[in-house]
Amino acid sequence: QVELQESGPGLVKPSETLSLTCTVSGDSISSSDYYWGWIRQPPGKGLEWIGNIYFTGHTNYKPSLESRVTISVDTSRTQFSLRMFSLTAADTAVYYCARFGREAVGGYYFYYYMDVWGKGTTVTVSS
């Protein structure tokens, strides 16, 4: 049974950099069947996709966050990571990592739904 677990600091100062790691167990992060990514949820609000990554290192990012975000993968440690720069209070949220499942359409694979989620980690941006 695949499980995802986020880890990282709960408190970050404004203008600093957030670093989070997601550890995958029970599945191979090098599988061609999935992308792996990050979603966040500000307090009392909805869900926002941040970005995702394939085991090869190919990434997709939300355009409005792309300049401040880097996602990387370490297949040897079955982990992938999020770095977000120049934090402000608006980045305060629960951060989830998730596995992105795929479906074949017209001979191509599309990784479009999040079928396994971590429990989430709360990040507060405050001085």
Partner 1 sequence: EIVLTQSPGTLSLSPGEGATLSCRASQSVSSNFLAWYQQRPGQAPRLLIYGASSRATGIPDRFSGSGSGTDFTLTISRLEPEDFAVYYCQQYDSSPPTYTFGQGTKLEIK
Does 10 participate in binding partner 1 (rule CB under 8 A)? no
Q: Using the rule CB under 8 A, which residue among 15, 86, 112, 126 binds partner 1?
A: 112
For partner 1, the closer CB: 47 or 89: 47
Q: How many CB atoms lie within 10 A of CB 83?
A: 13
**Site stretch for partner 1 (CB under 8 A), options 8-16, 19-27, 75-83, 100-108:** 100-108
Does 85 participate in binding partner 1 (rule CB under 8 A)? no
Which residues touch 84 (CB under 8 Å, ≥6 apart)? 17, 18, 50, 65, 68, 69, 91
Interface residues for partner 1 in 47-76 (CB under 8 A)? 47-49, 60, 62-63
What's the half-sphere exposure (Cβ side, CA atoms, 13 Å) at 14? 5
